[in-house]
C-alpha cells in the first residue's frame, strides 16, 4: 500500500510544477504581441527573422521587394500562368522582372 506521506509529497510537487508552468504560460502570453496590431513592415521583419533563408510570397502581395521569392499568377508575367521565381525588379509586372525557377507552360 502506498505511503500517504509520499502521495502528499507527489501531489504537492505536481501542484508546484503546474503553478510554474501556468506562470510561464501567463508570462509568455502577457508579453506577446498580436500579429494584427503589427504594421506590414513589422510583419515582414518578423518573417525575415524567423525564416532567414527566405520564404516564397504571393506575387500579388503589395509589399514585394527585389530579391523576394515569389509564386502565383499575375497578368503580364508568364502569360498569366503560374510560376515561381525571384524578383529582380519590384513591383514585378512583366517577365523581365522575374528570374524564373519554374514556369507553367
In a domain, 57, yes or no: yes
Q: Quickly tell me which residue has 521587394 as its cell.
A: 65
pLDDT digits (tens, 9 = 90+) for 41-69: 888 888 888 877 778 889 999 889 999 99
Is 96 inside a domain boundary? Answer: yes
Structural domain for 72, as ranges: 52-105
What pLDDT sits at residue 33?
64
In a domain, 100, yes or no: yes
Q: What is the pLDDT along the chain (105 residues), one digit of tens a residue?
A: 567 777 888 888 888 888 777 777 777 677 666 777 788 888 888 888 887 777 888 999 988 999 999 999 999 999 999 999 999 999 999 999 999 988 776
Cα separations in angstroms, 100 against 20, 27, 76, 91, 96: 51, 45, 14, 15, 9
Residue 99 inside a domain? The answer is yes
Number of structural domains (the chain) is 1
Q: Per the domain annotation, does 56 fall within a domain?
A: yes
**CA-closest candidate to residue 95, choices 81, 57, 67:** 81
Whether 88 maps to a domain, the answer reads yes
Determine the length of the chain: 105
Q: What is the pLDDT of residue 1?
A: 56
- Angle formed at CA 24 by CA 21 and CA 26, multiple of 5 degrees: 105
Amino acid at each position: 500500500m502506498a505511503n500517504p506521506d509520499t502521495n502528499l509529497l507527489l501531489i504537492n510537487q505536481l501542484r508546484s510544477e503546474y503553478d510554474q508552468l501556468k506562470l510561464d504560460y501567463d508570462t509568455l502570453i502577457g508579453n506577446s504581441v498580436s500579429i494584427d496590431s503589427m504594421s506590414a513592415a513589422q510583419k515582414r521583419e518578423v518573417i525575415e527573422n524567423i525564416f532567414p533563408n527566405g520564404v516564397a510570397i504571393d506575387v500579388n502581395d503589395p509589399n514585394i521587394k527585389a530579391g523576394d521569392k515569389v509564386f502565383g499568377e499575375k497578368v503580364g508575367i508568364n502569360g498569366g500562368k503560374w510560376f515561381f521565381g525571384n524578383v529582380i525588379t519590384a513591383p514585378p509586372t512583366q517577365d523581365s522582372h522575374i528570374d524564373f525557377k519554374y514556369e507553367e507552360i
